[in-house]
Structure 1
Amino acid sequence: MRRLSLVALLAVSGLALGAQDIQSWARRLEARGVSVSAGLWEVGSGKVLERHREDLALIPASTTKVVSTYALLKTLKPDSTIDTEIWGDLKDGVVQGDLTFKGDGDPLLTSERIWLIAQSLKRLGVQRITGSIRLDQSAFDSQREPPGWENTSTDTLPPVLPLSVNFNRDEAGRLVADPERQSREIIQRTLQEAGIAIEGRANFEGRPNGLGAPRKLMAWTSPPLRALVLDINKWSNNFMVEMLVRRYGAGSWSRGVQRIQGFYRSVFGLGPEDIHITDGSGLSKENRLSARTLAIILRGAYHDFEVGPEFVSSLKIIGGEPWRLKIKDPNLTRRVRVKSGHLDQVNSLCGYVQRLDGEVRVFAIVLNGPCHDEDIWEQVSRWAN
């Protein structure tokens, strides 16, 4: 893969257009105790147009997902999928012993998809299971959460297990205390409703004569990565991206994060001091990113013919989504594509803005301190109009 230099991606010299405006805006925020890293760049040349401490690394919140999802798309490719395997000893319609679901990190294994799996098992001729439903969670290591979540709300994210049904949340969207039990119960209930009897007899200590070893009966394939990334960035789904980062690291959060950092070091020349992250979602307050680092990645993605269209389309479109437009400036409708971030004392926004003359620009704003969405959109609206 061809290495792209920082200088080629974002020019750091030149006169800023309207510098007084951005400086006045930033000074007002700093007077309130808010740290500011912000900038606006031409998407074509990378020339900096406006900036304020664009190299200052701050807590980025969910704009971290820009870093993780682009790396995933570029290295794994948009059409890549994840298989959940179903194993058992099937003979004459009967599974002797347990039916095992082996997870490998599909983040979108929902009740509806379990129903489809049940229908596929019926087509294979499965009528009865003498044992129980067993979950194989061996694809991930035993770490329950990545570093940096010590100061994050404990009810923010459920355990990230390689086989997880319904994001490990109940029907009301609440975290469940025992996600493996919930997944097993949903699978068992769905199979029974499909007409597959589950007897739940104890496993055989050994394999009696006439019984074969379990074999892979089928594999359920996830939606392609491009669809998963779209859900992640549109809805800022923390669970899904952390599931993919763990899988990216062969079951390890730390290896997944290191692989993301290695990608940016080799492709963009961004070192660990630039991509300082401990997770993929942005929940960690140990993460640090600057506006300039975010803009480098956004501009690189915009010009990436291979995966750029999938990445750009995954961002939220102001005025173009199935929810009410929070920003009341009608001139922004369908002219701003963004990833936002929110934590206590953190507001961030980065993406692309199309001016009224049709020119597209890259921007990033990261605020740490007593700040609000309105503080960011004041500046974005000026850049757009």
Structure 2
Amino acid sequence: MSNAAEETPPSNAFVPGGRRRHRMPSPNSGSPARRALVLALAVPVASAALAAPSAFAASGPGATATAADPTGDIDADDQQMAANLDARVLDQRLGDDVSGVVLDADSDSTLWDHNGSTALMPASNVKLATSTAALSVLGPHHRFTTKVVYGDGTLTLVGGGDRTLTGADLAELAQSAVAGLKRAGLTSVKVAVDDSLFPAPTLADGWNDGYYPDTVAPVRALVVDGHGVQDTSLDAGQAFAELLAQHGVTVAGDVTRGTADRTDVPVARHMSAPLADIVKKMLKTSDNNIAETLLRMTALGAGRPATFEGGTEVIREVLGRYGVSLDHFEIHDGSGLSRTDRIPAATLAQILELLTEPHHAHTLGAILDGLPVAGEAGSTLGPEWGRFDDPNSQCAVGKVRAKTGTLTGALALSGLTRTDDGEWRVFSFIENGSTAAPNDTKDAMDGLAATVNGCWA
């Protein structure tokens, strides 16, 4: 499991050691502004505009830089936190290739930076970018529709990009379809599936065949119960046909793949839960399949092809419009499974910092709500994953919200916590290439998060 048209930022962008990170004006969270963003994304953007200047200066290999504050406003607790991080980031369990950033979201200052602009493999922290783009383009109340239509003796199950469709949902669709057939005096039909909303599945750059179908299934617009199979569409169609048969309808021949005709008669439809709920589910469990489906639906929502390339292009544009630095930002999928993805910790921290701004709460609030909580059973920070159970990090249970990221040779933890005074601290830590036992590396990284919280002083 993987745990995998911007404007030019103002010239006074923050440099580590400075006081402020000046961001571009962000899209208003209201519906008209979101529609304006979608319209803007539908207009092709010159590739030169995709290289926004970084809000963070390079620190140089191996450098540790506790941010200086020329105004003298960093208090003693934050100074101690930064000093502790300077020492603890050198923990051999983290290896030598580590980056990290800690932001004070309330004062808009950087409290600590260690190679923060160095782009490393982020694993599932990519899902933070995917979620931000999906919610911004589609809106938190967006729902995905699965339909059944009838024409020329065939019932066609039409996929609408709902990766959360359940067997119970499919049973309701079948029941409605059977009722319609009986009213029409029909007792026998053919069954087809239409998953033409997405092009045929391909591997992303940095993926391999070994991912299929357990780590991630080939990305299709139709699936039931999240089945990890090679052809989720035909699998859903066969389940649908069995349900029809259980209700006394004869299904002629095998389930086939086809394309619904515009003249086909609507028979039944199912609406998914709101996107906000789907994003929460995806983040809590780091669901790769939901992430890749959302990438394609986001691309379609912005008027782009439902491909890896179309989706990642929209992610870049959305982040750019929020003022997030895209220096050294390179992603090839929506889940973070790609081993060629690269994101600086500074960029991930900037994405998370958006969640602390009240005017983004309507649009992006589902991300904050969906972040796993340290010690939360059923999430990727739960005890079943051995997280926050070390003596140094146990104090942060219930106090840290963060997205995990885990691939062979890569571990990331990016999130938020509040101080005793209620102030937001945003952090991102990434390590690549540690040779320590994975659980030991996780313990060391959880300790960094506990340090930011201040409970491990």
| TM-score, normalisation: structure 2 | 0.72
Secondary structure of the residue aligned to 1:71 is helix
State the shift of 1:34 in Å: 3.0
User: What is the alpha-carbon distance in structure 2 between the residues aligned to residue 49 and residue 2 of structure 1?
Assistant: 27
Q: Hey, what does 1:327 align to over in structure 2?
A: 388
Give runs of aligned pairs for residues 1-385 of structure 1, distance below 5 A. Answer: 7-8=21-22, 14-15=68-69, 17-18=79-80, 19-29=82-92, 33-89=95-151, 97-124=153-180, 126=182, 128=186, 130-150=188-208, 153-154=211-212, 155-169=214-228, 176-193=229-246, 195-200=247-252, 214-250=264-300, 251-268=306-323, 270-271=325-326, 273-303=327-357, 304-322=360-378, 324-325=382-383, 326-328=387-389, 329-370=393-434, 371=436, 372-384=441-453, 385=455
Q: Is the 8 A contact 1:17 1:50 kept in 2?
A: no
Relative to structure 1, the CA distance from residue 145 to residue 287 in structure 2 (aligned partners, 3 Å threshold; closer, same or farther) is same
Relative to structure 1, the CA distance from residue 39 to residue 97 in structure 2 (aligned partners, 3 Å threshold; closer, same or farther) is same
Relative to structure 1, the CA distance from residue 225 to residue 196 in structure 2 (aligned partners, 3 Å threshold; closer, same or farther) is farther
Secondary structure of the residue aligned to 1:341 is strand
Relative to structure 1, the CA distance from residue 199 to residue 117 in structure 2 (aligned partners, 3 Å threshold; closer, same or farther) is closer
Identity %: 24
User: What is the alpha-carbon distance in structure 1 between the residues aligned to residue 449 and residue 223 of structure 2?
Assistant: 39
User: What is the alpha-carbon distance in structure 2 between the residues aligned to residue 249 and residue 64 of structure 1?
Assistant: 16
Secondary structure of the residue aligned to 1:316 is coil
Secondary structure of the residue aligned to 2:336 is coil
Q: Is the 8 A contact 1:82 1:104 kept in 2?
A: yes
Q: Is the 8 A contact 1:97 1:201 kept in 2?
A: no
User: What is the alpha-carbon distance in structure 1 between the residues aligned to residue 113 and residue 209 of structure 2?
Assistant: 31
User: What is the alpha-carbon distance in structure 1 between the residues aligned to residue 254 and residue 351 of structure 2?
Assistant: 54
User: What is the alpha-carbon distance in structure 2 between the residues aligned to residue 178 and residue 312 of structure 1?
Assistant: 33
Relative to structure 1, the CA distance from residue 202 to residue 284 in structure 2 (aligned partners, 3 Å threshold; closer, same or farther) is closer
Secondary structure of the residue aligned to 2:346 is helix
Instruction: Provide structure 1 residue ranges, at least 5 long, that are not aligned to the other structure.
Output: 90-95, 170-175, 204-211
1:222 partner amino acid: S
Aligned pair count? Answer: 362
Relative to structure 1, the CA distance from residue 275 to residue 152 in structure 2 (aligned partners, 3 Å threshold; closer, same or farther) is farther
Relative to structure 1, the CA distance from residue 353 to residue 238 in structure 2 (aligned partners, 3 Å threshold; closer, same or farther) is same
Secondary structure of the residue aligned to 1:27 is coil
Q: Is the 8 A contact 1:37 1:56 kept in 2?
A: yes
State the shift of 1:322 in Å: 4.5
1:379 partner amino acid: L
User: What is the alpha-carbon distance in structure 1 between the residues aligned to residue 368 and residue 177 of structure 2?
Assistant: 38
Q: Is the 8 A contact 1:63 1:340 kept in 2?
A: yes
Q: What whole-Å deviation, never above 9, does each CA across 1:19-65 have from its counterpart, x for those lacking one?
A: 443222233449x7431110211121221112211111100000110
Instruction: Provide structure 2 residue ranges, at least 5 long, that are not aligned to the other structure.
Output: 14-20, 24-54, 58-66, 70-77, 256-261, 301-305
Secondary structure of the residue aligned to 1:149 is coil
Q: Is the 8 A contact 1:81 1:225 kept in 2?
A: yes
User: What is the alpha-carbon distance in structure 1 between the residues aligned to residue 406 and residue 168 of structure 2?
Assistant: 31
User: What is the alpha-carbon distance in structure 2 between the residues aligned to residue 11 and residue 353 of structure 1?
Assistant: 22
Secondary structure of the residue aligned to 2:375 is coil
